Amino acid sequence: MAKDIRRVFKRKRPLRAKVLRGTITGVVLVAVVTLGFFAAKFRTEGFPVLFGPASSSEAGQVTGQGTGETTTTEATIPAPVPDPVYHAKVIPLSLLRDTNALGVRLDTLTAAGFNAVVFDLKDADGVLWYSSATPLAAQAKSVSSDALTLDQLRAALSVMKDRDVAPLPRLFAFMDNTAPKALVDAKIQLAADPRQSWLDNAPDKGGRRWLNPYAEQAQTYMLDLIRELHGMGLDSIMLDGVQYPFRVDAQALLPSPLTVAPLMQFVGEARSIAHILLVMPVDAAIGANTAPFAGNPLSFGATYAVPAIADDALLADLSARVALMSAPPHMMPWLDADTLLPAVQDIFGTDVSYVVN
């Protein structure tokens, strides 16, 4: 009998062991599968976010505390800030020397509906009318002996800011008869002797030197001025003379034919620094007499196009040209007289920017 009982227990022991081993094996398999699931989830999604929504798709879901309810809210996306609408008046630089007189003048202009003023800081002869501290301005010796000091300029800008009047300094770019005298690598050179400056006419007929849009030094000179002024709080810069000479002959050391690329590159780099208001003749803007620009300056990529308007004869043509563009600049006609404003607003709308002489 004892032998029979021993046989029974000997038969049951292996059964328990098998059950135990099976249980352990099952637990291990579950753990392996679970770990494998989360490892795969990590590889595809990364670590879970412990604080805040786990993904942008969940950013609008908010769970009510203690209620278990989930509500959905829309994320707030800031609206883009529109470019300003400028109603600008040209003022003489002399006003910037007398802050009291400047304040009186600005009060009169704001009462008349103007919110911006245009003044020259680099004129058509290339003379700088503020004391630029840029290295190339010093090398070019282009700062006038009667230039505004930086403190004077800052004081004038402060008066404008106090009255919510936007300062729009104008800089002539490559139309420059001054800097080429000293910046040898920036000028249009004489083909027969690159050490000499090319002139756009005979000396006895008022021939002028020009900066070369193809020259890196010429572009750097201008871009450094724009950076300097932007650093003083000037968000918008008006550029004039972004062009080749009106007449180019074989004596000029320039590629033939001239291309639009250097001018567009310059405007693009300038716009990466500040809003650019690009002055141009209206006939070039409608596609006529574009030779000095090697293309239509409307397409240069400026923030605002500033066509000079002497009468209303070409306004309809200008509007038609702008309508053909997929991404036109803001229009800001430069009016010889304020009597042209009704015609401009009739064509471009009452919210158009403009400059009045």
Averaged over successive runs of 10 residues, the pLDDT of the chain (357 residues) comes to 40 43 46 45 39 37 45 50 90 97 98 98 98 98 98 98 98 98 97 95 95 98 98 97 96 96 98 98 96 97 97 94 94 96 96 97
Question: Is the separation of the CB atoms in 185 and 217 below 8 Å?
Answer: yes
Q: How confident is the model at residue 44, as a pLDDT? A: 42
- CA-closest candidate to residue 309, choices 348, 252, 263: 348
pLDDT at res. 20:
41
- Which pLDDT belongs to residue 134? 98
pLDDT at 57: 38
Q: The tokens of 188 are what?
A: 């249009």
At residue 16, the pLDDT reads 44
Q: How far apart are CA 75 and CA 85, in angstroms?
A: 30
Distance between first and last Cα of the chain: 128
Domain ranges of the chain: 17-72, 87-356
Question: pLDDT at position 92, please?
Answer: 98
pTM for this structure?
0.78
Signed CA dihedral, 306, 133, 211, 259: sign only = negative
- 8 Å CB contact between 265 and 302: no
Looking at residue 82, what is its pLDDT? 74
Residue 76 has a pLDDT of: 55
SS3 content of the chain, % helix, strand, coil (to 5): 40, 20, 40
Tell me the C-alpha distance between 115 and 106, whole Å: 9
Residues 6+ apart with CB under 8 A from 112: none
Return the CATH number of the domain spanning residue range 87-356.
3.20.20.80
